[in-house]
């Protein structure tokens, strides 16, 4: 690519970066209280917001499994949500350890 083309490409990238800034995600979980009565869907939303730094795609399979346990197998919502909270916390701890080891290298 010519030097002029490279300059144009960089200018365009800068334009896009200004127009669509990257949203900074919190590095620590938010403190969102668990309501007394909560549906499994609402709990997934709350935990996804609480642990916004986690990759939602990576969590999709397991959260779907929790949802299926509740809807298809009739498992109590409170138990499912308890297990989801443990799962999200474990995922955050693994995320934190990966971040910590990345900064050590």
Report the alpha-carbon distance of residue 99 to residue 95 in Å, rounded.
6
What are 68's two structure tokens?
């299926």
pLDDT in tens, 55-87: 999 999 999 999 999 999 999 999 999 999 999
Report the alpha-carbon distance of residue 21 to residue 33 in Å, rounded.
30
Q: What are φ and ψ of residue 78, in 5° steps?
A: -60, -45
- The domain spans of the chain are 28-104
Q: Is the pTM of this model over 0.85?
A: no
Better-scored residue on pLDDT, 34 or 23: 34
Looking at residue 35, what is its pLDDT?
A: 96
């Amino acid at each position: 690519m010519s030097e002029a083309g490279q300059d144009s490409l960089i200018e365009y990238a800068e334009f896009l970066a200004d127009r669509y800034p990257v949203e900074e995600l919190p590095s620590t979980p938010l403190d969102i209280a668990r309501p007394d009565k909560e549906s499994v869907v609402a709990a997934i939303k709350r935990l996804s917001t609480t642990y916004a730094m986690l990759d939602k795609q990576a969590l999709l399979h397991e959260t779907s499994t929790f949802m299926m346990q509740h809807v298809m197998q009739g498992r109590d919502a409170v138990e499912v949500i308890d297990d989801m909270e443990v799962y999200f916390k474990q995922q955050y701890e693994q995320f934190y350890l990966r971040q910590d080891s990345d900064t050590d290298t």
